């Protein structure tokens, strides 16, 4: 598991801190992250909208409620427990829709680029099934939360081998996939949808993520770039009823209750058809 940063979070109303405030180890982490994100830690002025808080549980994103003036935890990544842990144990193996869409078959574990990593759940599940997955996330704040979750998972015996198959890059996906040294079999896209009504995340989590990363207005362009690079397929996750990203029709569609996978076959790697 590796992490590379190439963006800053200076445009956000954001401060990095730790709880308890006198924990020296957490202080070191907070200062290092603030420097990596190029944040000014001057506490003067109005309270920031967001806090990145190192606690004994891990790195949390806390959001200010203007009506109360209090912060509450909105996002924290946990690949050991919660929904990620449940899906790892009970998700259905290579027969689950995500695995089928990505091209997993008996004896076949494609190399995968997750070009819209977000909180990394789908990438983690694919890695748990044996795939080498490179995650690309353009938001340095989401990337910091994701990286912290990966570090904690790397230290846990149930998930350390899975994390060894994951790489995280904080960068622009179109630029990264256009300059890859090796051709991935599968490129996976789950762009932020402007009008998504159903999600595995709750409404507050979705609002927070949208305020950090915005809507993926360049999703169609990212799909077109991915189609020129992927060796076998590009997979696009879409909410149920949402329009396709491109005028090009998918090769096939895998329907689920609230969403679907649009699968575009490129068939450059014939062995993985």
Name the E strands within 45-152: 50-55, 58-65, 70-75, 112-114, 133-137
Whole-angstrom Cα distance, residue 59 to residue 145?
A: 6
219 in the same domain as 93: yes
Q: Which of 28, 56, 75 is the last residue of a domain?
A: 75
Give the number of domains in the chain: 2
Residues 131 and 69 in one domain: no
Domain co-membership, 63 together with 111: no
Q: Give the SS3 label for residue 71.
A: strand
Pair (57, 129) in one structural domain: no
The predicted structure's pLDDT at residue 43: 54
- Cβ neighbour number for residue 240 with a 10 Å cutoff: 13
Distance (Å, rounded) from C-alpha 270 to C-alpha 273?
5
Q: In this structure, what CATH number is given to the domain that contains residue 170?
A: 3.40.50.150
The pLDDT value given to residue 211: 74
Q: Which residues of the chain have a pLDDT value below 70? A: 1-11, 40-45, 194-204, 214-216, 270-273
Q: Residue 70: phi, psi to the nearest 5?
A: -110, 155
The pLDDT tens digits of the residues spanning 236-245 come to: 999 989 999 9
What pLDDT shows up at residue 24? 95
Give the pLDDT of residue 184: 96
Give the range of the structural domain holding residue 51, as residue numbers without chain letter: 3-75
Q: Which of 57, 75, 93 is the last residue of a domain?
A: 75
Q: Alpha-carbon distance 38 to 238, whole Å? A: 34
- What's residue 28's pLDDT? 95
* Domain's final residue, options 75, 109, 134: 75
Under 8 Å between Cβ of 262 and 227: no
Same domain, 152 and 231: yes
Distance, in Å, from the CA atom of 9 to the CA atom of 230, rounded to the nearest integer, reads 30
Quote the Cα angle for 138-144-145, to 5°.
110
């Amino acid at each position: 598991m590796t992490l590379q940063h190439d963006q800053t979070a200076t445009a956000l109303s954001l401060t990095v801190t730790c709880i308890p405030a006198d924990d020296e180890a957490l202080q070191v982490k907070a200062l290092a992250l603030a420097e990596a994100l190029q944040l000014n830690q001057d506490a003067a002025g109005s309270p920031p909208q967001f806090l990145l808080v190192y606690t004994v549980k891990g790195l949390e994103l806390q959001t200010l409620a203007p009506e109360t003036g209090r912060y509450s935890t909105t996002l924290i990544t946990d690949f050991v427990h919660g929904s990620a842990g449940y899906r790892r144990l009970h998700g259905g193996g290579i027969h689950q829709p995500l695995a089928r869409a990505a091209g997993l078959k008996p004896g076949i574990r494609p190399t995968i680029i997750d070009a819209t990593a977000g909180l990394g759940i789908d990438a983690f599940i694919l890695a748990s099934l044996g795939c080498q997955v490179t995650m690309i996330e353009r938001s340095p704040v989401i990337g910091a939360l994701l990286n912290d979750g990966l570090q904690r998972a790397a230290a846990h015996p149930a998930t350390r081998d899975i994390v060894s198959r994951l790489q995280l890059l904080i960068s622009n996906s179109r630029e990264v996939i256009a300059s890859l040294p090796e051709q991935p079999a599968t490129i996976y896209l789950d762009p932020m949808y402007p009008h998504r009504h159903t999600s595995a995340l709750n409404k507050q989590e979705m609002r927070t993520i949208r305020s950090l990363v915005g809507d993926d207005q360049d999703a169609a362009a990212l799909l077109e770039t991915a189609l020129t690079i992927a060796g076998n397929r590009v997979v696009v996750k879409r909410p149920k009823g949402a329009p396709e990203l491109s005028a090009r029709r998918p090769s096939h569609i895998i329907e689920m209750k609230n969403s679907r996978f649009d699968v575009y076959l490129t068939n450059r790697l014939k062995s993985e058809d």
